[in-house]
């Protein structure tokens, strides 16, 4: 049976990932102990920021693949290299659309817009902006790893167990008749369902390609279109005011998913699942 190590991320879409993997593989969950492992999943408690703690806790375990859900900085990536260099031939990192946050583009952005092999790396900073930390973590793993490396750049995830409260923010305000803050001319972005991003990660873990893949459902929405779907669900028209909110963007902010598609993953369309996600928010 295949052996899979999942580092962190056992709630929200990580829960779907672990449940699906555990049906076909021996899964080991590594976290700090804040979340229990699901039934049938081995649980290793360790601080992923400490190479010595991780090494001691893992003992002589080896894995067919590692899926890292909580690699946010180049220092964490360097720790992963130290711990897993001789434990696995394949390493999958969950990354983010926010690696593209500083770019201006007028169409869906492809993976080549941010090449991990050319991203400058600064170790040892006290804090990293989310997208910048992810960019640098990708860079360390892409340039220095002895294993096959994949980075799955996930777009905004919508689903029933979203602890961020972003979709609920819109649903609650529209249902209550409170104004929703939007930019004067909001631009489109892209989304993915929680179960779909879990499926992308599982697919990437079992494939043999390397490098970066964007992960998003087909179809783009701006915040106004999103609010229209919510309004139809709650039975109340949205009221808008000028300002900022989680999914209102001043610039075009969508990804090109054609690389993952060409490699064999079949994405849904956002319209296939958005109403259900709104109902669950």
* 36 alpha carbon, distance to own chain's centre: 21
Residues 80 and 119 placed together within one structural domain of the fold: yes
Instruction: Say which residues have a Cβ less than 8 Å from residue 147's Cβ, sequence separation at least 6.
Output: 84, 85, 88, 89, 90, 91
Report yes or no: 200 and 260 within 8 Å, Cβ to Cβ: yes
Instruction: Say which residues have a Cβ less than 8 Å from residue 17's Cβ, sequence separation at least 6.
Output: 6, 9, 67, 69, 198, 201, 202
Supply the pLDDT for residue 9: 79
Terminal C-alpha separation, the chain: 36
Q: Is residue 205 part of a domain?
A: yes
Residue 10 pLDDT exceeds 80: no
Once rounded to an integer, what is the mean pLDDT over residues 181-201?
Answer: 98
Q: Quick one: 215 exposed, middle or buried, by C-beta within 10 A (0-12, 13-18, 19+)?
A: buried
Cα distances (Å, whole numbers) of residue 212 to 91, 95, 111, 251, 257: 12, 9, 6, 23, 11
Supply the pLDDT for residue 87: 98
Q: Is residue 228 part of a domain?
A: yes
Q: Is residue 41 part of a domain?
A: yes
Q: How many CB atoms lie within 10 A of CB 79?
A: 22
Angle formed by the axes of helices 74-84 and 51-58, to 10°? 30
pLDDT interval class at 12 (50, 70, 90):
confident
Q: Domain with 274 in it: what CATH number?
A: 3.90.25.10
Q: Considering its fold, how many domains does the chain have in total?
A: 2
Residue 269 pLDDT exceeds 90: yes
Structure tokens at 207: 């494939």
Q: Is residue 262 part of a domain?
A: no
Supply the pLDDT for residue 35: 85
Residues 275 and 211 placed together within one structural domain of the fold: no
Residues 82 and 208 placed together within one structural domain of the fold: yes
Residues 80 and 184 placed together within one structural domain of the fold: no
pLDDT in tens, 57-111: 999 999 999 999 999 999 999 999 999 999 999 999 999 999 999 998 889 999 9
Q: Domain with 125 in it: what CATH number?
A: 3.40.50.720
Q: Is residue 74 part of a domain?
A: yes
Residues 183 and 231 placed together within one structural domain of the fold: yes
Percentage helix, strand, coil for the chain under 3-state DSSP, each rounded to 5: 35, 20, 45
Residues 202 and 87 placed together within one structural domain of the fold: yes
Residues 227 and 209 placed together within one structural domain of the fold: no
Structure tokens at 7: 């580092």
Show the domain range for 235. Answer: 163-190+218-255+269-280
């Amino acid at each position: 049976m295949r052996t899979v190590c999942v580092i962190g991320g056992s709630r929200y879409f990580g829960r779907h990932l672990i449940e699906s993997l555990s049906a076909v593989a021996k899964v080991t969950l590594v976290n700090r102990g804040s979340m229990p492992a699901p039934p049938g999943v081995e649980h290793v408690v360790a601080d992923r920021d400490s190479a010595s703690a991780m090494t001691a806790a893992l003992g002589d375990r080896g894995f067919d693949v590692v899926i890292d859900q909580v690699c946010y900085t180049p220092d964490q990536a360097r720790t992963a290299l130290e711990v897993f260099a001789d434990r696995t031939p394949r390493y999958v990192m969950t990354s983010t659309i926010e690696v593209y946050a500083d770019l201006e583009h007028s169409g869906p952005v492809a993976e080549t817009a941010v090449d991990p092999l050319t991203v400058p790396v600064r170790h040892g900073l006290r804090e990293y902006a989310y997208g910048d930390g992810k960019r640098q973590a990708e860079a360390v793993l892409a340039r220095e790893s002895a294993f096959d490396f994949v980075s799955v750049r996930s777009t905004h995830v919508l689903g029933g167990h979203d602890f961020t409260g972003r979709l609920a923010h819109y649903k609650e305000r529209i249902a209550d008749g409170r104004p929703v803050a939007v930019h004067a001319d909001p631009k489109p972005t892209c989304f993915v369902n929680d179960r779909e991003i879990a499926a992308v990660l599982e697919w990437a873990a079992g494939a043999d390609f390397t490098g970066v893949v964007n992960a998003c459902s087909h179809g783009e929405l701006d915040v106004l279109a999103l609010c229209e779907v919510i309004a139809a669900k709650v039975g109340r028209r949205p009221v808008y005011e000028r300002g900022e909110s989680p999914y209102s963007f001043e610039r075009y902010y969508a990804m090109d998913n054609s690389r993952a598609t060409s490699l064999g993953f079949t994405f849904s369309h956002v319209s296939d699942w958005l109403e259900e996600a709104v109902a669950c928010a």
